[in-house]
Amino acid sequence: MDHWAEHTCLTFEEASDLSGPHLEFKKLSGCYSSLGRLWWQSGRDSSIGENCDRIISNILFTHFAQLGIVAHEIGHAGGFFHEQSASDRHSNIQVNEENIIEDKLSQFAMQTIGIDVYSVLYDYSSVMHYGSKYFTKNGKLTISTLDPLAQELIGSRKGLSHYDKLLANRMYSCIDPWLTHCRFESDPCQNYGYIGKNCACVCPPGSSGTNCDITKAGYYANQEVFFPLGTKCTKKIVAPECYSPRVTFRSFRLYGRVTCSDGTSCCYYD
């Protein structure tokens, strides 16, 4: 909740009157939350149940998994669909229905209303995006990225991505009050940056400058990625003009596989 409050204008207070709309965190079965406010009941459950800290298999990164999972479920409670449900997904991913557990197909259903009006780009690194093999019934990919270089990006649970923050701040009309407070007539930030609560532009990865007007790299360039077990990665090596790329492995070794304290098998420092 602090993570959401830090990057948006949303605030959270402990509820003293449970007859009004409120969110209840419970340790139920699985990781889930209802989407947005349920008008027929005052409270809605967000379950952070058993194993909800094991999406990232390496025990070293459990903290990131826990933060991302709870941020993901708060996103649902705040009105966020899964990223792979976006109406423009066909330009970015392929959903492989033949590999999905039948009663989980609804988790991949495309949404055609609501979110589009906020004009935020599809984001492979969104905390709301499923990973490559979520709900697979046969070990094969349930989501394939059309850009093979992006396959390792989906399923991030490190926290809100830049476009997650931008979408939330547009959905909840956070930016206009900040512009007024900061005495801006219009938002000066470029390249999908936006004025933040401290009156400075919040710039997307790959851009910088006072107004996010300097573009040094793409949105996904140099993003830190943790690789869950079974992740498929594609790397593109580009040589200067008139040269051919060459990769030489002079030494290569992986640490041995070990059994972690939570009973999972993982390989450190791969």
| Structure-block tokens of residue 85 | 């449900």
Residue 116: what pLDDT? Answer: 66
Dihedral angle computed from the Cα positions of residues 9, 197, 85 and 49, in that order, rounded to the nearest 10 degrees = -50
Residue 252: what pLDDT? Answer: 77
Residue 117: what pLDDT? Answer: 74
Q: Please state the pTM of the whole predicted model.
A: 0.80
What are the φ/ψ torsions at residue 24 (nearest 5 degrees)?
Answer: -115, 120
Domains, the chain, in order of start with CATH, read 2-267 (3.40.390.10)
Residue 58: what pLDDT? Answer: 43
Catalytic residues: 73
Residue 68: CB atoms within 10 A of its CB come to 23
Q: What whole-number distance in Å separates Cα of residue 173 and Cα of residue 184?
A: 16
The stretches in the chain having pLDDT less than 50 are: 55-62, 270
Residue 28: what pLDDT? Answer: 82
Distance of CA 66 to the CA centre of its chain: 13
